[in-house]
């Protein structure tokens, strides 16, 4: 196949530009800090507690549990939705539904004002999270349709780079809303945070439709006249994909490795802000600066790791990056409280490998896939693997925090996940070399 035109590639990359603002502003920076400050009814030994649905939680653990629940829903619904989308060729319609609903949920976070509206914040956070990841799987499934195998590392990295640039741009604007609200007639930091949530919703919606208009019409894998219920046919498509994967040992081992190391990557990304704020006592201003630094460093990191994979191969490059993540977890465990400079350095290290490992993981999977029209169904396996891993990671992080009263023990658990992923990657590499010899 030939790589699509520059207009199509840029249009596809712009979906990362649209989507990624949610991941930065809502998941990584302003919303976690705002949630932690609002969702607090009592404090004991430096730990804040809040009551929700009849149970008292450590507030940071409640946040982790809510995200884990959202990702569990994603894992349950995506196999059905993507197989139907492949069968009917309407994954653009699914993309539009999810990013539109997600943008509305982000905008509704504006009404999360105090502890009495905690349910609004949690409900909107869950809906927005479900919609973000659901729209992403359909976007990912376009990659093998618009880029030839030799261009997929480059195109995938371009998508992540667009995402980082767009999200940093809006993050700076939101940072001004929070820290310099008087410039815009905003009364205080809390109101600035809520205005930021509204801005994310508008940005996500507008650029999402801009991207959608430039994507090609997907080819339906099934016939519109095929007999049977569309839901039944969707499950049949999933079973067919699974039967293919069972007889492909390299991609099967790769998915196993991806399950473990991505458990660590995504949990770090989702829990980093609360770890810095509560465990390391980093001021909110310095925390947001560190997150911005992560996003900026991630751009050259994604391209560097893409170039590295072209020189030494995808598996070897992934193994190097995963080993670097192990070192990051060790450093995060030992970093002292209030060590702002060390936190900046750690953030730069995270940023350099964060974009690269996501981009390379996506393109590696697309290369290992067989030639097929069922791209959304194949990517649903990839995304379900990712989401189940994150569910386990987030619940583990929250539970260990509640059990030990500290998030440092949870960081050690993440290091173990990375190490297991590294070992399975090595096994996949050996199997690939054996098949090629």
The pLDDT mean for the chain works out to 85
Is residue 232 included in any domain, yes or no?
no
Q: What angle do CA 168, 17, 411 make, to 5 degrees?
A: 60
Q: Compute CA 279 distance to the chain's CA centroid, rounded to the nearest angstrom.
A: 23
pTM of the model: 0.76
CATH code of 85's domain: 1.20.1250.20
Q: Compute CA 391 distance to the chain's CA centroid, rounded to the nearest angstrom.
A: 12
Top-confidence range, 31-40, 96-105, 265-274, 278-287: 96-105
Has residue 155 got a pLDDT over 90?
A: no
pLDDT tens for 345-377 read 998 898 888 878 887 887 888 888 887 766 667
Is residue 221 included in any domain, yes or no?
no
Is residue 203 included in any domain, yes or no?
yes
Structural domain for 266, as ranges: 8-47+55-213+241-436
The total number of structural domains that make up the chain: 1
Is residue 372 included in any domain, yes or no?
yes
Q: Where are the alpha helices (DSSP H) in 314-407?
A: 314-334, 340-368, 375-404
Distances (CA, A) of 427 to 25, 55, 165, 314: 37, 44, 36, 14
Is residue 149 included in any domain, yes or no?
yes
CA distance 215 to 223: 22
- Residue 254 binned pLDDT confidence (cut-offs 50, 70, 90): very high
- Helix or strand run (H / E) with residue 56: strand 55-58
């Amino acid at each position: 196949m030939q790589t699509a035109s520059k207009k199509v590639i840029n249009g596809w990359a712009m979906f990362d530009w649209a989507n990624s603002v949610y991941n930065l502003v809502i998941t990584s920076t302003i919303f976690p800090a705002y949630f932690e400050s609002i969702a607090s009814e009592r404090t004991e030994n430096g730990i804040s507690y809040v009551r929700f649905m009849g149970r008292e939680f450590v507030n940071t653990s409640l946040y982790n549990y809510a995200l884990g629940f959202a990702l569990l829903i994603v894992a349950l619904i995506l196999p059905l939705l993507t197989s139907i989308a492949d069968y009917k060729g309407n994954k653009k319609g699914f993309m539009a539904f999810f990013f539109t609903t997600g943008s509305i949920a982000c905008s509704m976070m504006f009404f999360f004002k105090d502890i009495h509206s905690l349910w609004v914040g949690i409900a909107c956070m869950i809906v927005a999270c479900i919609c973000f990841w659901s729209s992403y799987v359909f976007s990912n499934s376009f990659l093998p349709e618009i880029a030839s195998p030799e261009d997929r590392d480059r195109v995938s990295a371009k998508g992540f780079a667009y995402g980082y640039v767009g999200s940093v741009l809006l993050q700076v604007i939101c940072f001004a809303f929070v820290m310099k609200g008087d410039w815009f007639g905003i009364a205080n930091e809390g109101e600035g945070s809520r205005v930021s949530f509204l801005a994310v919703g508008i940005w996500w919606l507008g650029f999402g439709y801009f991207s959608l208009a430039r994507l090609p019409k997907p080819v339906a894998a099934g016939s519109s006249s095929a007999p049977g219920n569309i839901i039944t046919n969707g499950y049949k498509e999933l079973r067919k994909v699974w039967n293919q994967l069972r007889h492909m040992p390299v991609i099967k081992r790769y998915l196993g490795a991806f399950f473990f190391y991505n458990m660590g990557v995504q949990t770090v990304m989702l829990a980093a802000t609360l770890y810095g704020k509560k465990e390391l006592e980093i001021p909110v201003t310095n925390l947001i600066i560190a997150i911005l630094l992560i996003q900026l460093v991630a751009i050259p990191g994604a391209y560097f790791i893409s170039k590295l994979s072209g020189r030494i191969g995808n598996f070897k490059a992934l193994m190097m990056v995963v080993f670097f993540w192990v070192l990051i977890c060790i450093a995060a465990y030992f970093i002292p409280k209030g060590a702002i400079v060390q936190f900046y350095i750690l953030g730069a290290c995270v940023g350099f490998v964060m974009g690269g490992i996501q981009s390379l993981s996506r393109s590696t999977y697309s290369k290992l896939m067989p030639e097929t029209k069922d791209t959304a169904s194949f990517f649903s396996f990839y995304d379900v693997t990712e989401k189940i891993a994150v569910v386990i990671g987030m619940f583990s992080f929250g539970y260990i925090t509640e059990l030990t009263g500290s998030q440092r023990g949870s960081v050690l658990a993440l290091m173990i996940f990375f190490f297991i992923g590294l070992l399975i990657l090595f096994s996949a590499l050996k199997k690939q070399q054996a098949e090629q010899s």
